[in-house]
Structure 1
Amino acid sequence: MSISTSGNTTVATEDCLACKYQRRRCPADCSFAPNFPHDREQQFKNMHKLFGMANVIKLIRTLKDPSKKDIAMRTIVVESDMRARDPVGGCYRIIQELQHQIECKEAQLDKIYYTIANCRAQNAHCLQLQTQKIDDGDHCQMMHKLPLIGFETEK
């Protein structure tokens, strides 16, 4: 636990879990404190089990940009949590499921574009028959009952 004083006030804050694990005082600029505060013990355990504290420290020290350090730490936390929930698939299984959903939606969209193209072709054929004034009864009988579609879409 570190104690900081400012004026007449004394504030006691607990060390982050990474510093607590290393048995050292948590510095004010600790890069682990935002990701492993004292109340996120399970996330720290997951990270430590999957990656190891030494590997994470080496990785963070190699990154110079603070935004990249933050992204790396968040990625490590997410990956370790997902691997704890699903030891076999982890994040990869979620990525596969999302990819499958994208493929299904693309197939549905292709089917809709195909239907629109068919409707346009039928409407064009019906309009062509109407302009030629072919009126032999059953030609385009079904088309007279359907509204003409006149909108544009791009694939």
Structure 2
Amino acid sequence: MSISTSGNTAVVTEDCLACKFQRRRCPTDCPFAPYFPHDREQQFKNMRKLFGMVNVIKLIRTLKDPSTKDIAMRTIVVESDMLAKDPVGGCYRIIQELQHQIECKQAELDKIYYTIANCRAQDAHVCKCKCKR
């Protein structure tokens, strides 16, 4: 728990779970604070169980670009949550389901395009017949 004062008021903030786990004070520029605030304990446990705190720290230190760090951390959080929900399939099963849905919707769209083309062809044929009279 950190206490910062601004003027006459004191603001109490909770340390992030990563700093709390490491038993250190959470700095203001902590790279883990946005992803593991004190109220996301299960996400932190999932990440720690799957990847290990040391591995995640090493990964974050090797990445220089802030947007790359953000993408990596969000990916780690999502992947660990998905594997906690589905230990066998994880993200892969969700990706497969989404690809199947895309294929079904594409087939449905192709069928609609085929129907539209038939309607236009019939309309053109009817129009030609009426114009010849």
Quote the offset at 1:16 in angstroms: 0.8
Q: Which runs of 5+ in 2 are unaligned?
A: none
CA offset digits 1:10-35 (Å, max 9, x no partner): 22222111011111111110000111
Name the CA distance, whole Å, in 1 between partners of 2:83 and 2:62: 24
Name the CA distance, whole Å, in 2 between partners of 1:127 and 1:37: 68
Which has more radius of gyration? 1
Quote the offset at 1:91 in angstroms: 1.4
Quote the offset at 1:8 in angstroms: 2.6
Name the aligned partner's letter for residue 84 of structure 1.
Answer: A
Name the CA distance, whole Å, in 2 between partners of 1:56 and 1:7: 37
1:52-91 matches, cutoff 5 A: 52-91=52-91
Quote the offset at 1:105 in angstroms: 0.9
Name the CA distance, whole Å, in 2 between partners of 1:43 and 1:59: 18
Name the CA distance, whole Å, in 1 between partners of 2:42 and 2:4: 27
In structure 1, the partner of 2:106 is 106
1:75-154 matches, cutoff 5 A: 75-133=75-133
CA offset digits 1:109-154 (Å, max 9, x no partner): 1111111111122222222223333xxxxxxxxxxxxxxxxxxxxx
Name the CA distance, whole Å, in 1 between partners of 2:98 and 2:5: 49
In structure 2, the partner of 1:28 is 28
Name the CA distance, whole Å, in 2 between partners of 1:128 and 1:8: 86
Runs of 4+ in structure 1 displaced over 4 angstroms? Answer: none
TM-score, with structure 2 as normaliser:
0.91
Q: Percent identity?
A: 83
Quote the offset at 1:2 in angstroms: 2.1
> More displaced, 87-96 or 118-127?
118-127
Quote the offset at 1:52 in angstroms: 0.6
Quote the offset at 1:61 in angstroms: 0.7
Name the CA distance, whole Å, in 2 between partners of 1:76 and 1:56: 9
Name the CA distance, whole Å, in 2 between partners of 1:103 and 1:76: 28
Name the CA distance, whole Å, in 2 between partners of 1:111 and 1:6: 64
Name the CA distance, whole Å, in 1 between partners of 2:89 and 2:99: 14
